[in-house]
A = this chain, B = another copy of it.
Amino acid sequence: MDRSNSISGKTIGRLSLFRRLLTALSFEGKTHIYSHELANMAGVTAAQVRRDFMVIGYSGSPVKGYHITELIRCVSRVLDDPEGTNVAIVGVGHLGRAIMNYFQGRRPKLQIVAAFDRDEHKVNRVIQGVRSHSLSALKEVVAQRRITVAIITVPASSAQEVAEQLVEAGVRGLVNFAPVPLRLPDEVSVEDMDITMSLEKVAYFSGISDAGKERMEP
């Protein structure tokens, strides 16, 4: 089971989503769910749901469907490091603070435990329960707090440099909000959150959907 190797990124992403939906259902008192119900909620097909659960080795009952709390436990065994994962955030600007504000306490096994900024005015403060440090303390704090994942919210011009420092300090995964592709060793996994790209994508697809149509009412 924890002999879990080679699950695709796509599947991991969906499992994360499924777990969130299942947790909400569990709160509402629901105990079982069918693949097509969950599929409908998540916006995917039922076959995909069944396949994803097959990948992690969870079986439901053809008569009752999936047992929600068991399923959550099973997904969590795949997604979560049992020790928990400590996360750092670098760049305590507008976006960095918004993320800290949003994220804290959301996932019990995934906690932001340190923030870093180059600006001396922003260090040695506690924001959302997270202490901010000077960049010069990065290596030490990352090691001390056993930080393995980091969120980058510095300006694009500093992102590569910051990423390298983080990797050098031992970080193995990054969520990058700066609009630049990071060049890092293959064993570091990076997820880019590029709002300009996303906007251009939806602008493109929203534009071609009414290729022949004209404008509606002014």
Residues of chain A whose beta carbon lies under 8 Å from any beta carbon of chain B: 4-10, 12-13, 16-17, 20-21, 41-43, 78-81, 85, 87, 93-95, 97-99, 101-103, 106-107, 110, 143-144, 146, 148-149, 151, 170-175, 179, 181-183, 186-191, 193-212, 214-218
Chain B residues contacting A107 (CB-CB under 8 Å) are: 196, 199-200
The smallest C-beta distance from A168 to any residue of chain B, in angstroms, reads: 12
Residue in chain B with minimal CB distance to A215: B146
B151 touches A13 (CB 8 A): no
A interface majority secondary structure? mixed
The smallest C-beta distance from A107 to any residue of chain B, in angstroms, reads: 6
Contact partner of A209 (CB less than 8 A), chosen from B10, B78, B187, is B187
Contact partner of A216 (CB less than 8 A), chosen from B102, B143, B193, is B143
- The CA of A188 and the CA of B42, in the complex, are separated in Å by 16
The smallest C-beta distance from A124 to any residue of chain B, in angstroms, reads: 22
Chain B residues contacting A218 (CB-CB under 8 Å) are: 8-10, 143-144
Chain B residues contacting A41 (CB-CB under 8 Å) are: 181
- The CA of A195 and the CA of B55, in the complex, are separated in Å by 24
In order of increasing CB-CB distance, the 8 nearest A-B pairs are A173-B206, A173-B202, A172-B206, A189-B205, A94-B98, A191-B198, A5-B212, A16-B200
- The CA of A201 and the CA of B85, in the complex, are separated in Å by 12
